[in-house]
Amino acid sequence: MHNPYYLHASEVFTERGIRDNHYVLVEGGVIADICPAPKPNIRIVELGEQQLLPGFLDLHIHGREGSDIMDATRESIETISSSLAKHGVVGFLGTTVTSTWENSLAAFASVGDGFHNQPQGALVLGAYNEGLFFTEDHKGAHDEQYFLALTKENIDAIIEASKGSLKVMALAPELPDSDEIIRYLTAKGIKVMLGHTNATHQQTCNALDAGACGGVHVFNGMRGIHHRDPGCAGAVLLDEQAYCEVIADGVHLHPAILQLIYRLKDPQKIGLISDCIVAGGLNDGSYRLGMLDVTVKNGVARTNSGSLAGSTLTLDKAVDNLVKLADIPVLEAVHMASLAPAKFLGVDNSLGSISIGKRACFAIVNRKFQVQTTIIDGKVVFGNLV
Ligand SMILES: [Zn+2]
């Protein structure tokens, strides 16, 4: 695949709209052209009725197929990377969960290794710390006995352990000194997301003013909207700049809430995440998430106390759910799994959409919206091209 080739699809989901019966020229791993007619003497790969989509970016994922970021091993990074590629994901943030300090630092180190020495499937775009700096009321699947003080020393230790790969830090803004820490992280180019928090509306607004970027899996793990107390959820939904992570599995958020988020937010501030755990791609049963036992039944993961514990979702399914459950236009739904996260992470100059000059990263789906082929930098990493 070193030579240039065209992908010819009945529908090409470009950044500017869905183009019928178009050709996408891949040259040197980059999208070199998008056109209605090909130039001669260049190989054409016929995709027939399949749709050519931008590759998905899953910025909040803990594990898949028996592997967990907290395993802190190369093998687990590789398993997660190849498993994600089966679902059209071309890049991800290796996301931690609350654990011992030692285990947490080891996990950041292994994500850092993956970041600097990429696996074969979905790219490791960096590390996401979801853990350690939360409060108890909305702890979800985070074991509070391992919660730590939000200090510069702890933050610096994580940044160092991650070998420069830390991109996102989740925290509860009601913790002491949070606004100062948010400014500290933001100055270092690390995005702060607010979650597993009982913060009031005002505390959340203060954190957003200090530089926090938005809400972790909005409505889940935070104080919801009450008419006299609009909470963290109310604040991140109404702040135009705030980015909202959404788990569109049909369980974490009612379809009416998916619609509500869509009506309130700029679609480019809505980022689909899987929040998938080790059980993703496996059967129902008993698993671990960080330090806690979880049970997966009908694909839904819960702790022993009944709290939702991540998901077994994939982004291809999440996009399809948004279209079917919440009536969201398919191109917008696709871009919530690609362009929106790329913009959030600041990698939209090279990833996140089908646009000339960007890296040739695609998800090719059939008419049932099942991923048939995944391409990264012009190379097939899942499925095949005939
Ligand atoms: Zn969470």
pLDDT, position 341: 98
Same-domain pairing of 336 and 317:
yes
345: CA distance to ligand 1 center in Å?
19
> Which CATH number is 185's domain given?
3.20.20.140
pLDDT, position 290: 80
Same-domain pairing of 242 and 273:
yes
CB 316 within 8 A of CB 363: yes
281: CA distance to ligand 1 center in Å?
19
Runs of H (alpha helix) within 188-288? 201-210, 231-238, 255-264
Same-domain pairing of 31 and 64:
no
Tell me the whole-structure pTM to 2 decimals. Answer: 0.97
Residue that is written with structure tokens 């099942």 in the block: 370
**Distance between CA atoms of 25 and 44, rounded to whole angstroms?**
9
CB 27 within 8 A of CB 35: no
Shortest CA distance to 101 belongs to which of 123, 135, 72, 65?
Answer: 72
On the 0-12 / 13-18 / 19+ scale of CB atoms within 10 A, 27 is middle
CB 297 within 8 A of CB 284: yes
pLDDT, position 363: 98
Same-domain pairing of 193 and 137:
yes
**Distance between CA atoms of 266 and 250, rounded to whole angstroms?**
21
Neighbours of 284 (CB within 10 A): 14
Same-domain pairing of 60 and 48:
no
Shortest CA distance to 327 belongs to which of 247, 243, 256, 274?
Answer: 256
Same-domain pairing of 376 and 290:
no
- pLDDT tens for the 386 residues of the chain, in order: 569 999 999 999 999 999 999 999 999 999 999 999 999 999 999 999 999 999 999 999 999 999 999 999 999 999 999 999 999 999 999 999 999 999 999 999 999 999 999 999 999 999 999 999 999 999 988 889 999 999 999 999 999 999 999 999 999 999 999 999 999 999 999 999 999 999 999 999 999 999 999 999 999 999 999 999 999 999 999 999 999 999 999 999 999 999 999 999 999 999 999 999 999 999 999 998 888 899 999 999 999 888 999 999 999 999 999 999 999 999 999 999 999 999 999 999 999 999 999 999 999 999 999 999 999 999 999 998 87
Query: What's the domain range around 370?
Result: 5-53+352-382
Task: Give the total number of structural domains in the chain.
Answer: 2
- 3-class secondary-structure state, position 195: coil
Same-domain pairing of 133 and 44:
no
Same-domain pairing of 123 and 216:
yes
**Distance between CA atoms of 266 and 270, rounded to whole angstroms?**
7
> Which CATH number is 357's domain given?
2.30.40.10
Q: Please report, as a single letter, which amino acid is at residue 342.
A: A
Q: Which residues are catalytic?
A: 275
Same-domain pairing of 178 and 155:
yes
216: CA distance to ligand 1 center in Å?
7
Same-domain pairing of 191 and 61:
yes
